[in-house]
Structure 1
Amino acid sequence: MSMPEDGPGKDGERAMAKVNFKRLRQGASVPANTITDPRDLFNALPEKVSGLDYLRGPQDQVLAAWHDRRDERDLVIKMNTGGGKTLVGLLIARSWLNEGIRPVAYLVPDDFLTAQVTTEAGRVGIATTNDPRSPEYQQGRAVLVGTFAKLFNGLSVFGVGGSVSKPPSHSLGAVIIDDAHACIAQADHVFRLRVDDDSEAYSDLLTLFAGDLKAQSPNGRDCCRNR
């Protein structure tokens, strides 16, 4: 699941949420670690700071729509800037853990946002860690919060598929990618190799991939060869 950034609402428009008192009563009587509906989970969290009494309209609507489609893969959520997407992502992550889908990672583009997500999790009482070796994370008691680059790189702390020296240490049950556009740009940079066309390495790589380049685009292959 990815969570791209979007602009502010049109003309400052705000969505209003109705308080569902029946849902509030249900949330108070059921242990939070057994609830899978993220809206009920929010109401049941026992350690929320004062003032976080209900979800905002867009948050409630997005979580309801996600819950109806939670069995689907690779869902994309779009929310306006300032719409509370961090809390939405954390509730979805905790909901997965309660369902038995584990471990779960919440990935962001940089360390500043890592701290922001961790702070927000503390405000609602959702346990997090920044250590992928943590028993709390691996056993599904906490959400891993870290940078996108920590997972997607050639020396990933999670291990690398096909690597002999650094095999995968464990599988992820689910991943939330916050600000997907920025993270995709990071992935493109990390896995891009730049080689000067007058170097020996360029010639060797062109020879190695000549067949694939020709299959993809004969003209493109010839262009690379004649540079």
Structure 2
Amino acid sequence: MSKFRTSVSEGPIPESIVLMFRDLNRDSSVKYLWQHQGKILEDYHQNHIHSKDLAIELPTGTGKTLVGLLIAEYRRRAFIVFLCPTKQLCSQINQKAQLYGIKTSLLVGRQKNYDRGMFYEYQQGKAIAITTYSGLFNTNPRINDPEVIICDDAHSADNYITDLWTLSISKEKHISLYRSIYSILEPVIPDSMKHRIKTGGSNHSDEYYVDMISTIASFDYYTHLSQRIGEVVAKDDDLEYSWSILSSHFEACSIYISPKTLEIRPLIPPTKTHKPFSNAKQRVYMSATLGEDGDIERVFGIKKIARLPIPEEWHKRSTGRRLILFPGLSANENPEEVAVQMLKKVNRALILVPNDPTIQEWEDKISQSHTVVKSGEIEQNLDSFTKCPHFSALLLANRYDGIDLPGDNCRFMILNSEPSASGLQELYLRTGLGASSQLNNRIRTRITQAMGRCTRDESDYSVVVVLGDKLTERCCTSKVTKGMHPELQAEISFGLDNSTDRTAEDFVELAEEFLTQTPG
């Protein structure tokens, strides 16, 4: 016989977040909070519980996820959403939440396919919704009324947020529209760009050259341009959604052009016009670095964000040991060939590259010795890589955070070339305006994030092989490295000192000695 269920009432609001943590039904592997985590949670509870916008700085490997989830759990009597850049990261956060004893609803993929039970648990305030930035920043989000938003990896959210207000036109995919816009704007497109588009450029780098079309010079063409774009995008669902948001504010957008792509977007995303975001009572931005140049404010379109910097104690905590090697500093060796020789000695390797074409190049190099795993195979979890019975290599393009490979999951990684720009606007700021100094904080963060993928706690250790002249130059530049953890600065310095006048055999031996932890 069916019986009525009786609901279990929520207990009183805990006196503090730290006390709440002690009472969670967490896994035995989660024993305690680190000192700096406790201090940040106390500071939040005492001074920022009512702050509209708050950024919390916690570098790679210092327990950022747990802090964010505990804040979310403490506020759970309201509608709470925890945002991540990718579906893979959402799954990873969801798994961690289970270890912490925190109830969550994983809501990713097509909105109409959300698990009904999980969605209703979020709506009743019984679970924290975990979804992607795209799950909130779209034209009709199903999660449309969060009261508190936790933005994880906020330093990486730029493209995921601006996508809602960006019309990206690929020459390969939308050739007719690209040519139409080019034809209309040709009188105001810089001559150097017109030459590159018509001839294909004189070298490979010309493909990635970006320029911004003057809004003053092009203003008289906007009416014609708007009409033409409207006619074409009506036949393309993806472009039509973006254009429906941009069209009424077209004159406030910038137009960036390259030989491969056109991009129309505002300089700063108008997030305050997006009610699911702007109506929240509190927005917490969890970031590996905050910097002092207003980058986090620009990414989220918020004028003023309060800051809760990491306590001084974080410098005393190790995030593991890395042997960082720079084969390019030894003039007589081919750096990539050296890296391949080193890679053949390990059973698992992570290879981070700046773009998809470079993935193919690496796949050609290592497919005989390693099973290649790509991003599409790790959306749910990393098992296809970490549990592969053969030698395996995880190849990822432009993914510098969110991949956690602690312990024996992976102890060897290759960082091939400096992190690429996220979108044409950043590429224009970096190359067209030469504004690298303004982007140093963003570049530093990506490098730090990348080098921390395989060292997640004090007992971890890994080899990091750095390739590419630009990336090596960044690591030699004090303006880039000075904001990093002192330990990472020391590891980079040690690696630079030990990478000159070496043979390929020397690099292989150094890596093997470090990985076997042989005293030297």
TM band (smaller chain): 0.5 to 0.7
Residue among 180, 190, 200 paired with 2:164 = 190
Instruction: Please report the RMSD computed on the Cα atoms of aligned residues, expressed in angstroms.
Output: 2.9
Query: CA shift at 1:139, angstroms?
Result: 0.9
The secondary structure found in structure 2 opposite 1:39 is helix
Cα 1:201–1:73 shift into 2, 3 Å: same
Deviation at 1:62, TM superposition (A): 1.2
How far has the Cα of 1:90 moved from its partner? 0.6
Aligned to 1:61, what secondary structure does the other structure show?
Answer: helix
After superposition, give the CA deviation of every residue in 1:6-51 in whole Å (9 maximum; x if it has no partner): xxxxxxxxxxxxxxxxxxxxxxxxx876326211110111x21113
Letter in 1 for 2:133: F
SS of corresponding position for 2:83: strand
Higher relative strand content: 2
Query: Offset at 1:181?
Result: 2.0
Q: Whole-Å Cα distance in 1 between the matches of residues 94 and 84 of structure 2?
A: 11
Q: Is 1:55 equivalent to 2:33 in the alignment?
A: yes
- Pair member with larger Rg: 2
Correspondence for 1:180? 154
Number of equivalences: 168
Taking a change above 3 Å as real, the CA distance of residues 198 and 141 of structure 1, as seen in their structure-2 partners, is: same
CA offset at residue 116 of structure 1? 1.2
The range that moved more, 84-93 or 63-72, is 63-72
Stretch of structure 1 that moved more, 191-200 or 102-111: 191-200
Unaligned runs of 5+ in 2: 1-9, 108-113, 170-180, 185-220, 229-246, 253-520
- Mark the CA change 1:33 to 1:80 in structure 2 (over 3 Å): closer, same or farther: farther
Q: Residues 122 and 33 of structure 1: is their aligned pair in 2 closer, same or farther, counting only changes over 3 Å?
A: farther
Q: Provide the C-alpha distance between the structure 1 equivalents of 2:249 and 2:163, rounded to a whole number of angstroms.
A: 23
Please give the TM-score of this superposition, normalised by the length of structure 2. 0.30
SS in 2 for 1:35: coil
Partner of 2:125: 140
Give the match for residue 59 of structure 2: 80
Partner SS for 2:81 = strand
Task: Kindly provide the CA deviation profile for residues 43-94 of structure 1, in whole angstroms up to 9, marking residues without a partner as x.
Answer: 111x211132220122111111111211111100010101111111110001
Q: Match for 2:131: what amino acid?
A: G
How far apart, in 1, do the equivalents of 2:92 and 2:12 lie? 23
| Aligned mates of 2:35, 2:251 — CA distance in 1 | 51
2:69 to 87, 90, 94: 90
* SS of equivalent to 1:176: strand
What secondary structure, in the 3-state scheme, does the structure 2 residue paired with 1:144 have? strand
Could you tell me how far 1:157 is from its partner in structure 2?
2.6
In structure 2, how many angstroms separate the alpha carbons of the residues matched to 1:209 and 1:188? 16
How far, CA to CA, are the matches of 1:84 and 1:211 in structure 2?
Answer: 42
Q: How does 1:1-227 map to 2 (within 5 A)?
A: 34-35=13-14, 37-45=16-24, 47-68=25-46, 69-97=48-76, 100=77, 102-131=78-107, 134-158=119-143, 170-194=144-168, 196-198=181-183, 203-205=224-226
CA distance in 2, matches of 1:56, 1:209: 50
Give me the whole-angstrom Cα distance separating, in 2, the residues matched to 1:135 and 1:186: 26
- Whole-Å Cα distance in 2 between the matches of residues 204 and 177 of structure 1? 36
* Aligned counterpart, 2:390: none
TM-score between the two structures when normalised by the length of structure 1: 0.65
For 1:64 and 1:181, the matched residues in 2 are separated by 23
Q: Where does structure 1 lack aligned partners over 5 or more consecutive residues?
A: 1-30, 159-169, 214-227
Distance 1:210 1:147 in 2: 26
Aligned-residue offset at 1:204: 4.1
Superposed displacement of residue 211, structure 1: 10
Residues 184 and 33 of structure 1, relative CA distance in 2, 3 Å threshold = farther
- Which residue in the other structure is 2:502 paired with? none
In the aligned structure 2, how far is the partner of 1:210 from the partner of 1:154?
A: 15
**1:167-202 Cα distance to aligned partner (Å, 9 max, x none):** xxx511110010112212221233212462435987
- For the 8 Å contact 1:197–1:203, the answer to whether it is kept is no
